[in-house]
Amino acid sequence: MKFLAGIFLSIFIVSFSFGISNKFGLGIVVGTPTGLSAKYWIDNHNALDFATGWSFKEDRFYLHFNYLVHNYSLLKKILQKSELRGNLPLYAGIGIRTKFGKGDDEIGFRIPLGITYLFAGMPLDLFLEFAPSLNFYPETDFFVDTSGGIRYYF
């Protein structure tokens, strides 16, 4: 389990080092987990998403890594009718999550579904996400993670 956490941390650090041209965002996330959120845009539609935090309810460390695909066209008409000038893509993806610390360690898959608002003229985004998740270790268990947050892009 500690090896897996090391891999996630290494990916996070490497992604941070490539944070150029407003492709790398770092911020906070509230929900499951509550802690730090990071996102690295591969291109305009694909991104890598990371979050880590402490679960105060369970007294455990939480970490997830996702690959996300963004769709800008589904909500484009709504955005055009509003006063908002940024972008409002919906996204979906696939990822892996782990919890460890007090109690049994857990590893599972997650399917994040969400919406993000990318501000025009400011290197910020706001996001809301829910992620149906399936643990496969130490036992099979289904649940839904929910979170929201804000990130600043470097």
Spatial separation of the C-alpha atoms in residues 48 and 66, rounded to whole Å: 6
Going along the chain from its start, the domains and CATH numbers come out as 2-153 (2.40.160.20)
Predicted TM-score (pTM) of the model is: 0.83
Spatial separation of the C-alpha atoms in residues 59 and 48, rounded to whole Å: 27
pLDDT along the chain (154 residues), means of 10: 54 49 91 93 96 84 96 82 83 96 89 95 95 95 94 94
pLDDT of residue 33: 87
pLDDT of residue 59: 82
